[in-house]
Amino acid sequence: MNTPLAKLQESMKKKNLTYYLIPSEDPHQSEYVDDHYKCRQFISGFTGSSGAVLAEQDSSRLWTDGRYFTQAESQIDRDRMELMKMGVSGVPTVLEYLEQHLKEGDTLALNGRTINTTYGKKLSALTTAKKASLETNHTLAEDLWTDRPAAAASEIFIHDEAYAGEAVSSKLKRVRSHMEAVSAEAHFISSLPDIAWIFNLRGNDMACTPLFYSYAWITMEGCFLFVKEHCLSDAVKDYLAKNHVSVLPYEHIGTFLKEQKASILMDPDTVSYKLYLEVKKNRILFGENPSYAMKAVKNDVQIEGLRSCHLSDGIAMTKFMCWLKQNIGSVPMTELSVSDRLEEERKKQPLYQGPSFDTICAYKEHAAMMHYSSTEESNVELKSEGLLLIDSGGQYLTGTTDVTRTFILGSITAEERRNFTLVLKSMLSLADAKFLQGCRGSSLDILARGPLWQEGIDYRCGTGHGVGHFLGVHEGPNAFRWQIRENQLDAVLVPGMVTTDEPGVYVPGQYGIRTENMLLCRKQKQNEYGSFLEFEHLTLVPIDMDGVDETLLSEKELHLLRDYHRLVFDRLSPHLTEAEADWLYSFLKI
């Protein structure tokens, strides 16, 4: 066969390589990457954002998580590639698989730019213990990809302090204070969201996420930003100069690092293994980028911005919902056409910059794939029946949104109605939490899963993730997860953190249901027991009442639902037409 995988395996045989590893990440360990770096997708055919391919000369395997099991099964060649379902009992991780199968004299090869330092050190230790070889300078997949897209190089622009709420000088001062505390002479940063946040800059090097490819080197006396210089306007160059930031070419980072002699603070989870090898002769202080936790706590300006952009997002979503509910069955609709209609509504909102991720618009059985993406080939017509799940979001200069609603298009089964209501109970339960400061996401996750676990139902993913501020829609360190694992996102929740609340039910081949709100952590009260915290709903989008079985809701849950809908109506109705406001009031039953 003349497939990319077959060609890769042929190259492996010529070079006498036993294993070849292709992860999903780019050289900055980004979650969502520019098309230029989608080598795993090129080799496997799997388009999900998370996963890794481990090829052998005559077999291959794809690892991915529970969000993508159904999608991966439909996209890979099951005759030539085995799906390894991460997190399922009995399924080894990539490292565990290599531990079981790697033999003396074997060679594990990869591109060292695409794995982080932590993982690279584990692979190095494993191959050494097995008396095998680790080769990190290969680019087999890249070399085979003859029509590979060029690397992105978008214009870099300033994210005004009026939206960011803090000056670059203040952020650098905080970073340097942390460096001083850990006795670091220099801080090397590879994480693109951290660089964008520190310097109040944004770009468009990857779809839906306003980032730009760069590196940063900060010392007590100076600061260097490595970027593609043609991406800087004169205004941005002046801005950087005023903030005492020197600019160097992006491609010179390796040479620059080789020349450094300092105690260096770096995050082993975001710096590539290849660049770590350039500086390992120095005293390396491994630790989280201090900006990682700083940017997770939104300041007052950012919080007001988030409230503003969620109002805009709620207006767009509600206008769309009104149109959808009133026209389904009479106006031709498909997954792609209604997704386009929603985008048209968002584009009408002030300060809107584009979607925060590719919209998931999934009808009936398509919604069982948590991260389904409709294409011209998979696109289907919507009818006056069943469930339509839409997970979408927007990038605004004032913040980032992420919201999921499952719409009832007509008749649904008793099981679908029950599960729709269970998911609603789960979302409301977590959003209503009152808890002492010191709790982590894992302390609260049971509030969302509880109503589903009571019925023997679960969803194979986390309950929620942090969200950046005009940055990535997925951001740590805060999250809601029930399992406590090594390197799991599970920070102590503090006021200013924003986290999604998105329980769901997914029945392969039949339907999927998810309801998602973004929650702002804020102070509730202080008393003799400590500081109590609570959540504020940022999302202002109606729940489809046509799917709710109110007999399954307790009096408290009914009260929570009505209170939420009163909030939605009070905030949105002044911005809707009279007809839309009348429809919304009647629909919400408030």
| Tens-digit pLDDT profile for residues 461-481 | 899 999 999 999 999 999 999
Model confidence at 1, pLDDT cuts 50, 70, 90, reads low
Are 139 and 250 found together in one domain?
no
- Domain around 234: 157-295
- What amino acid occupies position 466? G
Are 312 and 452 found together in one domain?
yes
pLDDT in tens, 412-456: 999 999 999 999 999 999 999 999 999 999 999 999 999 999 999
Model confidence at 590, pLDDT cuts 50, 70, 90, reads confident
Is 16 contained in some domain? yes
Tell me what pLDDT residue 501 has: 98
Q: How far is CA 572 from CA 311, 317, 544, in A?
A: 7, 10, 16
Is 323 contained in some domain? yes
Model confidence at 489, pLDDT cuts 50, 70, 90, reads confident
Q: Is the predicted pLDDT of residue 238 greater than 70, yes or no?
A: yes
Contacts of 217 (CB under 8 A, 6+ apart): 186, 187, 188, 189, 223, 224, 226, 256, 260
Average pLDDT over residues 395-424: 98
Model confidence at 303, pLDDT cuts 50, 70, 90, reads very high
Model confidence at 249, pLDDT cuts 50, 70, 90, reads very high
- Residue 378 burial (C-beta neighbours within 10 Å; 0-12, 13-18, 19+): middle
Is 442 contained in some domain? yes
Looking at residue 112, the DSSP 8-state letter turns out to be G
Are 216 and 310 found together in one domain?
no
Are 191 and 65 found together in one domain?
no
Are 183 and 253 found together in one domain?
yes
The last residue of a domain, from among 264, 295, 326: 295
Q: Is the predicted pLDDT of residue 560 greater than 70, yes or no?
A: yes
The last residue of a domain, from among 295, 325, 347: 295
Domain count of the fold of the chain: 3
Is 47 contained in some domain? yes
Are 32 and 47 found together in one domain?
yes
Q: Is the predicted pLDDT of residue 486 greater than 80, yes or no?
A: no
Q: Is the predicted pLDDT of residue 487 greater than 70, yes or no?
A: no
Contact 424, 507 (CB under 8 A): no
Tell me what pLDDT residue 515 has: 98
Tell me what pLDDT residue 370 has: 87
Average pLDDT over residues 527-545: 97
Share of the chain above pLDDT 90, in %: 93
The mean predicted confidence, pLDDT, of the chain is 96
* CA–CA separation, 465 and 477 (whole Å): 9
Average pLDDT over residues 80-96: 95
Are 548 and 521 found together in one domain?
yes
Selection from 396, 304, 302, 308 nearest residue 351 by Cα = 396
The CATH number that applies at residue 166 is: 3.40.350.10
Contacts of 58 (CB under 8 A, 6+ apart): 9
Are 307 and 441 found together in one domain?
yes
- Considering only 103-112, 342-351, 415-424, 488-497, which range has the smallest mean pLDDT? 488-497
Are 210 and 224 found together in one domain?
yes
Share of the chain above pLDDT 70, in %: 99
3-state secondary structure at position 179: helix
Is 151 contained in some domain? no
Are 116 and 74 found together in one domain?
yes
Tell me what pLDDT residue 70 has: 85
Is 149 contained in some domain? no
Q: Is the predicted pLDDT of residue 13 greater than 70, yes or no?
A: yes
Helix axes 300-327, 555-572, angle to 10 degrees: 100
Q: Is the predicted pLDDT of residue 354 greater than 70, yes or no?
A: yes
The CATH number that applies at residue 516 is: 3.90.230.10
The last residue of a domain, from among 144, 165, 181: 144
Q: Is the predicted pLDDT of residue 488 greater than 90, yes or no?
A: no
The pTM of the whole model exceeds 0.85: yes
Are 347 and 256 found together in one domain?
no
Average pLDDT over residues 521-545: 97
Is 150 contained in some domain? no
Are 305 and 430 found together in one domain?
yes
